[in-house]
Chain A
Amino acid sequence: MEPFTRDLSLLIFLPVVGALALLLIPRGRTRLLFQAALLFASLTFLCSLRVLWRFDPASGEMQLVERFAWMAAYGIDYFVGVDGLSLFLLLLTAFLGPIVILASWTISERVKEYLFFMLLLETGMLGAFAALDLFLFYVFWEVMLVPMYFLIGVWGGPRRIYAAVKFVLYTMAGSLLMLVAIIYLATRNSQVTQLLTFDLLRLYNLQLPFGEQIWLFLAFALSFAIKVPLFPFHTWLPDAHVEAPTAGSVILAGVLLKLGTYGFLRFAIPLFPEAALAAAPFIIALAVIGIVYGAMVAMMQEDLKKLVAYSSVSHLGFVMLGLFAFNLQGIQGAIYQMLNHGLSTGALFLIVGMIYERRHTRMIADFGGLWKQMPLFSAFFLVVTLSSIGLPGLNGFVGEFLILLGSFQSSPWWTAGAATGVVLGAIYMLWMFRRVVYGPLSRPENQKLHDIGTREIVMIIPILTLIVFMGIYPRPFLDRMKPAVEMVVKRIESKKEATPLIQGTGGGREARPRGN
């Protein structure tokens, strides 16, 4: 056991401290409110760098673990830790924190509440990535929901209320069943081991019969699949994205969706490996359908934000494909792709936000020839677009390549289907880019546009740096993921071999698991 630290708690709760501090600042001092929020978000990012620095890349175990009894009689602890699966997602969240505050600089109404919810949301996300107690995870998971609901509902577009309520109801529909599954799991564990606990690492060791696993897996998977969103559960996403303010979209695409895929990787798959193996063909099929469907729908969009939203459905399909390949390359690629998507789609939403602020429209048809008027903006836009379609040398390529490599080993035909998604992605992104940036500068409104300013450059440069860095030199990232990913893969491999055995020797009771 390592020496006792509080790095993670500091990281998780610093934003909420900031949120409470904001309450003390008078409502009218808008500038000061922004500065304070930016300060706390930046400090949080520094904390996350400290976590990275203290992280031991060679170990696949949980690190920087903290544990306090919360409701001791029920085995509920405050229990957080970080490993190779969650490390970079924590970093990504903290990294996007200051950027989204900067992106919100133009918000003028109810600034105090807005920043309060932003910081609260950050705590929820960081907590959900770090939680190792199922009860604690559920608390953070739900805590995220409320600020996001307000961000969409108060500061969103014309159909914001519809979008906000839809977002909450969809997410709750999944998570409430997950709550029952969590309780059930802990109860079963206490029956088997005589130890009542919600400790994830202990629950990993619980062996449940297949019939029970599949139900629990479905409850968890539904909750995460809605969040991802996996193909038939994605309908809330375009609404939420289109109506959310820019910063809300960035957070939604950049981090919230990752919680779904992270949930599969951390909870649903390792807790119920047999069920995950059994469900894999269906999930892979849905993922590939999502990839192709998302890309095709994105191609037809007139609205830039909708286009980016549907491209998220497509990209997250890749992540799911990689996860359910159940091998090192696939899962590593999936985590890598989560980071990529957070960066490039986050940047795309920032870019859409920039031109929306200038023109108050997001229709592709309203633009054209922007490079003449906004050369710097167009250059940034180009890099982000190329990153999003996976051009070699930029980050998107590494992730997609690893995923396809991994999934080809397990399901070559589906991988071939997914690869068409890469092509489609290139088509719709480049087509969109051409229509917005190239061509004649025909519209008079567009002729007066001014290029991006210092604040916007400060926002986008760090993202671009990472996009390039992660494309050229992915090793520091992959190395730190590897030990933890290997542990997950090993868990599943052991079940893969054992599964036919169980079905063979279990006799009548085990052989008909789906009958229950």
Chain B
Amino acid sequence: MLLTALTVLLLDLFLKEEEKGFLAWITILGLAIAAAMAYLLRGSYAGAFQDSYLLDGFSLFFSQLFFGVAGITVLASARYLQETRIRQGEYHALILFGTFGMILMASANDLIVFFLGLETMSIAVYILTGMWRERGQASEAAMKYFIIGAFATGFLLYGIALIYGAAGSTHFGRIAAYLTQPAQQWPPFFYAGLFLLLTGLAFKVAAVPFHFWVPDVYEGAPTPVAGFMAVGVKAAAFAVWARIFLAQLAPLQSAWTVPLFVLAVLTMTLGNLLAIVQTSVKRMLAYSSIAHAGYLLIGVVAGNEAGGQALLFYLLTYAPMTLGAFAVVAALKREEKDCESYGDYAGLGFKRPFLALAMSLFMLSLAGFPPLAGFTGKFYIFRSAVVTGHTALAVAGALNSLLSVIYYLRVIVMMYMEEGGAEGKSFAAAPYLYAAVAIAALGTIYLGLLPAGALEASRLAFLSLR
């Protein structure tokens, strides 16, 4: 308990003292220290604030994931910030705040704490979205995100209130105890509360039909922030989803299997179909992140150990390839021009071989080609569906992967089989960005070739919930 607080405090320490160029380094140092502490804490179990905040394998797993995500984001944004004249101090502080909120969500054992974390994260991300103030699109995106996000928050809060009304507590443990009571006559408004809670989470993970904000917001946001949102926010929301619905409220499983089944199929299919028709790579990535939310939902539907583990592992594999892809998009930006259309990628393979090679890896991985991270992630997600008897869902996922191949390959076609297009930054111009891309690429290959360790970590993390 003390140690948890310490981790948080450590983070807090670095939030305030903000100066200039070396801020990024301080941020990374802080993240590294926090990650190291999380590593040292592995295997421990502690609660704080009357067990409303838990330090267990699950929260540590996600903390480390978030630290990694934030670290890569900071690296990828170094050059971007200079070009767009975004204020460094606020930017890094907000990234850290956002990360802190995500950790709070993953560690929450009480609906109120969860809500606090969600708000901390969301507010940080709202501001991050609009930070490039000189651009109209950014403000529009931030506004849109804020309004829709606030709406989702309203749903969540109302859902929490209803659940509290039924169960008499916001503590997960007590809600779970309430569910085990023999009296199976839960009031209807308890279901309504659950439904609202699910709706709020669906907003955050960008599941269809609550996905409309995603492409506009990602497109308007600074590119590294879009990556941060696509991975971090999604992972945090799925962390809560896993903790609440797969562990504490697992007895209710059968009640939401069918709606979630439909939701997963819709999310995958619509995300992929809409991604095909995009002309901007950044928007394509936004829709692809919706599709991936659909694959992740397969793990939720599957439930139990297989599904939970696959869900966690998928988030792990999803992180490097998505962050890397967004980092490459950021690398193509030139002064005022975004260079985000497919045409801008033409011939990149021979102008910037490294960037194009890395981007090909990310695209192939996202499409699910072995031996890359995206394949192993999908393999275990599909496996969880088959093991729990949802073979149809695995087939739907497989067919969707086929759809996704169409648009992921288009990027590669442009990079290697066409001429012209944007220049892309050289290594000398953006060394940190290259570092971020390299780390993401290595992660993508590593999780594809040698996933055994990460799989075991995901399994243990999920099991620590029980």
Please report A residues at the B interface, Cβ cutoff 8 Å: 70-74, 110, 135, 138-139, 142-143, 145-146, 149-150, 153-154, 160-161, 164-165, 168-169, 172-173, 176-177, 179-180, 183-184, 187
Contact = CB atoms under 8 A, between A and B. Distances in A.
B386 A177 contact: no
Interface string B407-432: 00100010011000000000000000
Contacts of B212: none
B391 interface: yes
Contacts, number: 77
Contacts of B371: 139, 143
Q: Closest 5 A-B residue pairs measured CB to CB?
A: A176-B398, A139-B370, A180-B394, A183-B386, A71-B452
B417 A184 contact: no
* A interface SS class: helix
A168 B379 contact: no
Contact of A169 (B370, B405, B417): B405
7 contacts: A70-B452, A146-B364, A150-B416, A173-B402, A176-B402, A179-B398, A187-B387
Contacts of A172: 401-402, 405
A183 B382 contact: yes
B36 interface: no
Contacts of B409: 149, 165, 168
Contacts of A160: 417
A70 to B, nearest CB: 7
Contacts of B256: none
A440 B228 CA distance: 71
Contacts of B406: 165, 169
Contacts of A184: 386, 391, 394
B134 interface: no
A179 B402 CA distance: 12
B456 interface: yes
Contacts of B455: 71, 73-74
Contacts of A183: 379, 382-383, 386, 394
B395 A73 contact: no
A149 B386 CA distance: 30
Q: How large is the interface on B (under 10, 10 to 19, 20 to 34, 35 or more residues)?
A: 20 to 34
Nearest to A191: B387
* B interface SS class: helix
Nearest to A70: B452
A146 B395 contact: no
A344 to B, nearest CB: 31
A114 to B, nearest CB: 11
Contacts of B370: 138-139, 142-143
B383 to A, nearest CB: 5
Nearest to B350: A110
Contacts of B401: 172, 176
Contacts of A149: 409
B348 to A, nearest CB: 13
Given A143-B370, A146-B364, 5 more contacts: A71-B455, A176-B402, A179-B398, A180-B391, A180-B394
Contacts of B369: 142-143, 145-146
A9 to B, nearest CB: 15
B448 to A, nearest CB: 9
B404 to A, nearest CB: 10
Nearest to B459: A73
A165 B391 contact: no
A179 B416 contact: no
A154 B417 contact: yes
A279 B144 CA distance: 56
Contacts of B398: 176-177, 179-180
Interface in B382-398: 382-383, 386-387, 391, 394-395, 398
A180 B395 contact: yes
B89 interface: no
Contacts of B391: 180, 184
Contacts of B343: none
B386 A187 contact: yes
Contacts of B405: 168-169, 172
